[in-house]
Structure 1
Amino acid sequence: MKKRRRRGGGASSAFDRRVFPILLAAAAAAARSTHRRTRHGSDATVARLLRRALSRSRPSLHPLPASLVAILPFLLTSSSASVAALSCEVLGAAALQSMEASETLASDAAIADCLARALRRGSQRVAEAACNAIMDLSASSAGREHLAGSAVLQSILSTECSKSASKANKSFYLMVDTLVLMVNSCQVDSLHNLQQDVVRKVLPLLHKIWKNVDTLGSSTDCINSKNQLQRKEHEISEAIFRLSMNIACPAHLEPDEVRRSIFGQSVSDYENFLLNYWEKLTYLITRKQKNLHVDSVFTSLLNEFDPKTPDTIIQSLVNGIVSCPAIASDELDISSFLREVQGSLGAAVKYRQDIRVVRTNDQCDQTSIGYAMEEHFFDDGMTFQDADAFVEKCKDAFKNGFSVALRGMEFRSEKIAAIASAVADLFGQPSVGANIYFSPPRAQGLARHYDDHCVLVWQLLGCKKWMIWPDTKLLLPRLYEPFEPLDDLVDDCGGRMEILLEGDIMYVPRGFVHEAHTDVDVGGFEVNSTVDCSLHLTLAIEVEPPFEWEGFTHIALHCWMEKHWSSPFVRSQEEVQTSLFALLLHVAIRLLSKNDATFRKACMIAAKLPPSSSCTTTHLKALRSNQRSIFDEIIKKIDKSCNFKEALMCVELAVREKNDEPFQWMCWLRHLPQHGGTNGQVDFCNILGALEELLEAVSCNLEQALTEFTDFKSKFCRCVVYEDACESFEMLLQMYRTTRNQYTRGMLALHRKHEI
């Protein structure tokens, strides 16, 4: 007996987009019944209707009827796992129909919230379906951002806390893929809202996955491509970096604790250094060897490098490190940095950028005046994909007289990061760099040179002989300026020799030529002995342009302009004119600073001085008074010596040659708050247009312009408020620190050896 064929039956039957949501809503409502049998039957009906929608041709889900969108949150939170999972599938299928559909559904707050609840319900089937729906909704960048900013990310983090990389399966891979995608799609500001305790729990898991991603990708559980981890290594490392940016490092030191460890217990010793040696003279702090073990900062540093043998030191230095890509000095938006380095976070170490393996000796090629040249063990730009082989090559190089110099230790060691941060606080600077140098006996690593930053050299192991020559130019070298040849800077008879023993610290100002040797006669050398080797840490106090006294002066000019000229009572034309005169005065101040040592010195307005007490009040007042006196001296120099014609000639040359390179130093001024009107604002990132406008405004009557500029300059010098500049200076410093701290925390997380 033949069955009667249903008209249009099965998947080919008519699909009424208007009636279907009504039927689905009615069945879903019935499923909420308290009667168990009724609820079970209604759940089955809802599931059947959802399967029917999925079996239809894809256009039937595009666009998804508004009535169906309205009940999706209701369906996603169904107590039936089948209904919830199938609802996720319908949502994903609809999202794939178009970018517009994806963005619309992803931006629906109710849907996002219910997806988050679906992830937390404990059902593996529902969690997988929810993850797949999230992936489908993330087809567009807007969709990703909407979901990443919702409760979805926090739910994935919470769910992932109980996972283990050793139990890899389809569900595990899918959850990790979704987590990484959401973290990397999330706006940086939104990452602040994540629960830190949950993030701390999931980071070790991600770190272990990242370190073993190749092994996991070829796991026996990976039956097909759907069971494999789809995210790339660099995507996982970026997620680790992003999640770690706002988590405080466990290692933290107060500035005063580090001050005592470096300069001694007496506050007066530190204050004496600031007043009499800082940026002027070398300064040696010697330690009694028998007391080193009671200095917790020193002992924690030394133990960081496993000082048993040269091999163990190199192993602790080099093993497991990744490259630290440079961040622009005036970058205050970590999002811009992440976009710039996309795809390269967590990459292999790069020679010269991260590490140098170098030696200098009399047998190397020499310059025309006889200075020994550096010989490098590796080629410039070389990367090291095989970490184990790289470690072994470094060990071999060390045995052949090469020193190992590793940069960016503040990004690779939490203890060193804590010390560097405290030193930055002490000197009122955004950050302090840290390098480590490990040299074999009777060796010289770096050739004779000078630095564009001040250095604190901390001898951790062994001893080292230093030769230092004072800065004969008197003008402190600035960051990023070209280095001068040493021909006229060094008199071989005028150098000073210092020998640093374990625990000793030496301060070398920027511009002071120096070289260091381990040819101190302390006995023979054995391969597995550290007795004749030298290990020292350098803390580089880099004074960024905004935090020199010149920078403070530019800030003072900006604050005065904001306070006195950007007001509703100033006419639009007058505002533009004064803004152009301010621009010209910025240029004149810069020209004045090129030949005046005071402008190049570090401004320490924001330095965290030791707590006041009856015995130190006098010293603290002297330090603060010294800062105010420097500013008053600078203002007098500006009033007397800032030259209108010289500044204008500089502007004319730039405009004529269409070359704004000499004015790139002004870029950081864009970070200062602009509270006033828009008429007089200058785009410091596109300065050529403003320079052209300035030139046009003054060229028609130079004599009048000179008179008006002189009057403008005099008003500034009479009325500038030191305290206003201090406030803006500290605000800018905090902005710089925030970005540097985010970078440091992210890089430390990539170097952290998590214990699972």
Structure 2
Amino acid sequence: MEKKKQRVKRKRKQKPSARQLHRPRSSDANAIFALLLASISNRHHSVIFINKCLFKLRRSLRLSQASVTPILALLPTLLRSTRAEIACRAADIIGAASLVSFDANQEIASDSETVQGLVSLLQSRKRKVLLSACNAVLDFSTTTFAQRQLLNFSALNKLMFVFLQIFKGLECVCLWSEGDESPQSLKIGIKEDYLSLPFLTAIVVLINASDVDQIQSIPHCLSEAFLRILKQIRVRVSDEGMIRGARKCNEEGHLCKSNIALSNLAESIFRLSINASQLTGSLPFEVVQRGIFGVSDTSFEDFISNYWEVSPFMLSRAMRDPDIFGAFVQSLNWNGSVPSLLSSILQGLVACFPIASDEQNILNFLNEVKDRLGCPIIYQQDIRVVKTEGQSRKEMHYFRDFHSGCIKEPLCFTFDDILKCGQAYKDGYTVALRGMEFRYQRIAAIADTLALMFGQPSVGANLYLTPPNSQGLACHFDDHCVFVCQIFGLKQWTVYSPPSQLLPRLYDNLLGSDIDCTRAGRREIFLREGDVLYIPRGFPHEAYTSTGVGDGSPGFSLHLTLSIEVEPPFEWGGVVHFALHCWSKNQKILCYDCPNFLSQKLDLVSVNLLHVAIGIISNYDPSFRRACLAAAISLPPVVYDSIFQGQRDTFFYLIDKIRTESRFMEVMSNIEAAIQKNEDPFQQIRWLWVLRMEKETSSAYNNNKSVMIEDLLPLCAQHKDKLEAAFLNVKSRFCSEVVFEEVVTCHRMLLQKYRNTRKLYINGMISLHDKL
């Protein structure tokens, strides 16, 4: 007996330590591969043995950066196994190997059979196989190339289809946080649902990795069903009580946690909205004409002929159809209480980050704001709470800390800040909310139709709630035309004569522009509920509320402004620049990358000098700054035809101005002065440079422009006479050969490009504001 104990003791001493057991040897993976290959080749292979080999291989991959190359040849066969255990183990190996290193991930992603085999597992009817496959997809999709491969093999469609079958319902959805309760730290969780959550996570990851074409390739029925669920989830988890209860969910347990932040969820909703069927659309021309311009058949034509960008215009409720804003008014839940009205407007709103005016790719915008998308409204960007003091005539902001110039980061409104707006209103402050066309479908539809009527990419919409006996904004003028639509209450407006005959351009710096209202002509206009007031850009104006009118009015005012923002490509100066751009393209003037041919080089430089000349003329001729309506093809033919001839006359008036007033020496002096001030002499046509380089890198504009500026002055010094002759020749040929009808056709296509991006942006934002 004693000898037996000694033998046992000796055996125990020979047993390896735990560390030795878990330290993989370099030959482990190769040995396991050999055993697997032999076992799979055997018709009577042991499932248990294969599972053991796969388990050891997975452990080996996790504990060392072993090569995945040997096992890669067997993965497609293992993934196609009819035995759930083997398929699950194979998926686990893909997940583990994908996390070993970037190279391993790339190697797996490059093997189409393996990726296809993994995606095919998402069609399994066995929950454990689905879970293993989905987890493998999550581990695998940590690189851009792997995400692209998964999308190429329709992994997203399959994941969405399965999720719609297994999702238990919204009562399971909740939030969790890692300590604080800030919106940035809150993430999605699903109570006691170990399968739905990884599918939801994988879907969000792949949606947010998709380009526009891949999103649009998702079947509409699948996309819209999943979008509806995502929006319902967001509405639920965005509830203030839900956010405050996130910590409680953590403490209670029984929670499956994801890494889906609220911004990730918002981005997925935004992207899927690209594929949604008509979230927003236009209204018939007749509806908007009756609602804004009056019930007369010729009201819009009369407005364009006599008032557009020339003079203020007031249309009373009796002369127009007031029902155009009926659906919007009903959505406000107005019950006679201003605090409840304010609360119903502000709750649930999210920030609408500005998109660049010349942006042609919605994904560029999303990449810039993806970590902030879906966050609460931001002061100064989305909302202002302001009043003008009676004696100083200066604006004061209720949220002074938010308005401070020393604050670098934008500050989001909290639930408490929204409540403070009610007190601010009682203290005489106007609540001004921007971007209503991104928040309400009815406003979006009205704005879109109005944009089409004026041949512009988009129309803005702001809302102003002003208490009795108060003035919100101080006297100012805008760089855009506005239609003031009085929704509730009354407001007194004063519109002054413009300080200049030149219309201010969009994005002009208006700060510091003096408005001497004492010497200017003025017009007093009293707006009642249902009235519409048009104010052209450049006309100073101010407005205030008062009581004691005598008609039982409560004294407060709620009005909506629709803003016609004439962007650079769509004012007449921009149209002429675009016409020159199209003409030079048709002449097949060699690009600047071929500088060896002097004549072609002189012609190319001359085209750009002519652009500068057009800019100089447009700085003093008001006609170049007016809006072009030639792309307003949504107008009825009779209306458009009556406007078209006037547009044609304007175009050739501008061409004649270019022919007679473009001077070579003036252009060169202007360029030299700009260079000395370290300014860009081509700033006015930056949008045109972007258009030229849209298929190249974003830096191409700066590189091409810089090369041309650096070469321009030496070229002029060496070949001044030849350059001047080339400039005069290019000017003469352009002015003689340009065809208005061809310009209009190209300009309409340009407008459509701008509108396409804006449409996607509006669809995404409307989706984020959809309260279902």
TM-score by length of 1: 0.87
- In structure 1, the residue matched to 2:179 is none
Alignment of 1:622-633 (within 5 A): 622-633=642-653
Check 1:674–1:230 CA distance in 2 against 1; reply closer, same or farther (3 A cut): closer
Task: Say whether the 8 Å CA contact 1:671–1:732 is kept in structure 2.
Answer: no
Among 558, 567, 571, the alignment partner of 1:548 is 571
- In structure 2, the residue matched to 1:33 is none
Q: Which amino acid in 2 is paired with 1:623?
A: I
CA–CA distance in structure 2, aligned partners of residues 675 and 362 of structure 1: 50
Task: Say whether the 8 Å CA contact 2:377–2:413 is kept in structure 1.
Answer: no
Shift of 1:509: 0.5
Shift of 1:329: 1.7
Task: Say whether the 8 Å CA contact 2:328–2:440 is kept in structure 1.
Answer: no
Check 1:218–1:482 CA distance in 2 against 1; reply closer, same or farther (3 A cut): same
Q: Percent identity between the aligned chains? A: 34
- In structure 2, the residue matched to 1:475 is 502
Among 671, 684, 688, the alignment partner of 1:651 is 671
The Cα offsets for residues 80-120 of structure 1, whole Å up to 9 and x where unpaired, read as 33222211101112212221121232243333333333234
Please state if 1:394 is matched with 2:418: no
2:195 counterpart SS class = helix
The Cα offsets for residues 541-569 of structure 1, whole Å up to 9 and x where unpaired, read as 10111111111111110111111233799
- In structure 2, the residue matched to 1:563 is 586
CA–CA distance in structure 2, aligned partners of residues 451 and 566 of structure 1: 40
- In structure 2, the residue matched to 1:330 is 358
- In structure 2, the residue matched to 1:16 is 31
Among 47, 53, 56, the alignment partner of 2:57 is 53
The Cα offsets for residues 314-364 of structure 1, whole Å up to 9 and x where unpaired, read as 01221111111121222222222222223111222221111011112414x
Shift of 1:571: 9.1
- In structure 2, the residue matched to 1:320 is 348
CA–CA distance in structure 1, aligned partners of residues 334 and 347 of structure 2: 15
Please state if 1:449 is matched with 2:481: no
Q: Which amino acid in 2 is paired with 1:583?
A: N
Please state if 1:185 is matched with 2:175: no
Check 1:218–1:161 CA distance in 2 against 1; reply closer, same or farther (3 A cut): farther
Shift of 1:297: 2.3
Check 1:224–1:656 CA distance in 2 against 1; reply closer, same or farther (3 A cut): farther
The Cα offsets for residues 168-212 of structure 1, whole Å up to 9 and x where unpaired, read as 233333222222222222234322212233222223433344452
CA–CA distance in structure 2, aligned partners of residues 675 and 745 of structure 1: 23
- In structure 2, the residue matched to 1:201 is 225
The gaps in structure 1 that reach 5 residues or longer are 31-37, 367-371
1:320 counterpart SS class = coil
Check 1:507–1:122 CA distance in 2 against 1; reply closer, same or farther (3 A cut): farther
Please state if 1:300 is matched with 2:327: yes
Check 1:323–1:488 CA distance in 2 against 1; reply closer, same or farther (3 A cut): closer
CA–CA distance in structure 1, aligned partners of residues 324 and 46 of structure 2: 68
Please state if 1:237 is matched with 2:266: yes
- In structure 2, the residue matched to 1:706 is 724
The Cα offsets for residues 365-416 of structure 1, whole Å up to 9 and x where unpaired, read as x2xxxxx111111126466666432222111111121111100111111111
- In structure 1, the residue matched to 2:529 is 502
Task: Say whether the 8 Å CA contact 1:461–1:535 is kept in structure 2.
Answer: yes
Please state if 1:666 is matched with 2:685: yes
Q: Which amino acid in 2 is paired with 1:158?
A: F
Instruction: Judge which range, 47-56 or 579-588, deviates more.
Output: 47-56
Among 649, 656, 659, the alignment partner of 1:636 is 656
- In structure 2, the residue matched to 1:375 is 396
Shift of 1:522: 3.3
Q: Which amino acid in 1 is paired with 2:669?
A: M
Task: Say whether the 8 Å CA contact 1:562–1:675 is kept in structure 2.
Answer: no
Please state if 1:118 is matched with 2:121: yes
Task: Say whether the 8 Å CA contact 2:568–2:574 is kept in structure 1.
Answer: yes
Instruction: Judge which range, 660-669 or 52-61, deviates more.
Output: 52-61
CA–CA distance in structure 2, aligned partners of residues 146 and 83 of structure 1: 23
- In structure 2, the residue matched to 1:35 is none
CA–CA distance in structure 2, aligned partners of residues 24 and 52 of structure 1: 15
Task: Say whether the 8 Å CA contact 2:387–2:471 is kept in structure 1.
Answer: yes
- In structure 1, the residue matched to 2:185 is none
Shift of 1:623: 0.5
CA–CA distance in structure 1, aligned partners of residues 628 and 635 of structure 2: 17
Task: Say whether the 8 Å CA contact 1:216–1:229 is kept in structure 2.
Answer: no
Shift of 1:647: 1.3
Q: Which amino acid in 2 is paired with 1:642?
A: S
Task: Say whether the 8 Å CA contact 1:357–1:378 is kept in structure 2.
Answer: yes
Please state if 1:156 is matched with 2:159: yes
Among 744, 754, 760, the alignment partner of 1:742 is 760
Please state if 1:172 is matched with 2:196: yes
Shift of 1:573: 3.9
Among 588, 611, 618, the alignment partner of 1:586 is 611
CA–CA distance in structure 1, aligned partners of residues 80 and 694 of structure 2: 48
Q: Which amino acid in 1 is paired with 2:568?
A: P
CA–CA distance in structure 2, aligned partners of residues 458 and 337 of structure 1: 31
Task: Say whether the 8 Å CA contact 1:354–1:408 is kept in structure 2.
Answer: yes
CA–CA distance in structure 1, aligned partners of residues 412 and 455 of structure 2: 39
Check 1:380–1:280 CA distance in 2 against 1; reply closer, same or farther (3 A cut): farther
Check 1:150–1:500 CA distance in 2 against 1; reply closer, same or farther (3 A cut): farther
CA–CA distance in structure 1, aligned partners of residues 694 and 530 of structure 2: 50
Shift of 1:260: 2.9
CA–CA distance in structure 2, aligned partners of residues 651 and 682 of structure 1: 21
2:303 counterpart SS class = helix
Instruction: Judge which range, 741-750 or 662-671, deviates more.
Output: 662-671
Instruction: Judge which range, 562-571 or 167-176, deviates more.
Output: 562-571
Check 1:25–1:430 CA distance in 2 against 1; reply closer, same or farther (3 A cut): farther
Please state if 1:26 is matched with 2:41: yes
Check 1:728–1:107 CA distance in 2 against 1; reply closer, same or farther (3 A cut): farther
CA–CA distance in structure 2, aligned partners of residues 405 and 474 of structure 1: 29
Please state if 1:460 is matched with 2:487: yes
Please state if 1:145 is matched with 2:148: yes
Q: Which amino acid in 2 is paired with 1:591?
A: I
- In structure 1, the residue matched to 2:182 is none
Shift of 1:431: 0.7
CA–CA distance in structure 2, aligned partners of residues 482 and 444 of structure 1: 24
Shift of 1:742: 1.6
Instruction: Judge which range, 567-576 or 310-319, deviates more.
Output: 567-576
Among 287, 290, 294, the alignment partner of 1:260 is 290
Among 87, 90, 93, the alignment partner of 2:90 is 87
- In structure 1, the residue matched to 2:109 is 106
CA–CA distance in structure 2, aligned partners of residues 381 and 77 of structure 1: 59
Check 1:570–1:629 CA distance in 2 against 1; reply closer, same or farther (3 A cut): farther
Q: Which amino acid in 1 is paired with 2:580?
A: L
1:442 counterpart SS class = coil
2:541 counterpart SS class = strand
Check 1:146–1:574 CA distance in 2 against 1; reply closer, same or farther (3 A cut): farther
CA–CA distance in structure 2, aligned partners of residues 685 and 733 of structure 1: 26
Please state if 1:219 is matched with 2:246: no
Alignment of 1:349-360 (within 5 A): 349-360=377-388
Shift of 1:673: 5.5
Q: Which amino acid in 2 is paired with 1:622?
A: S
Task: Say whether the 8 Å CA contact 1:450–1:511 is kept in structure 2.
Answer: yes
Check 1:523–1:306 CA distance in 2 against 1; reply closer, same or farther (3 A cut): farther
CA–CA distance in structure 2, aligned partners of residues 52 and 351 of structure 1: 57
The gaps in structure 2 that reach 5 residues or longer are 173-189, 404-409
Check 1:590–1:53 CA distance in 2 against 1; reply closer, same or farther (3 A cut): same
Shift of 1:523: 5.0
2:329 counterpart SS class = helix
Instruction: Judge which range, 634-643 or 124-133, deviates more.
Output: 124-133
CA–CA distance in structure 2, aligned partners of residues 216 and 126 of structure 1: 31
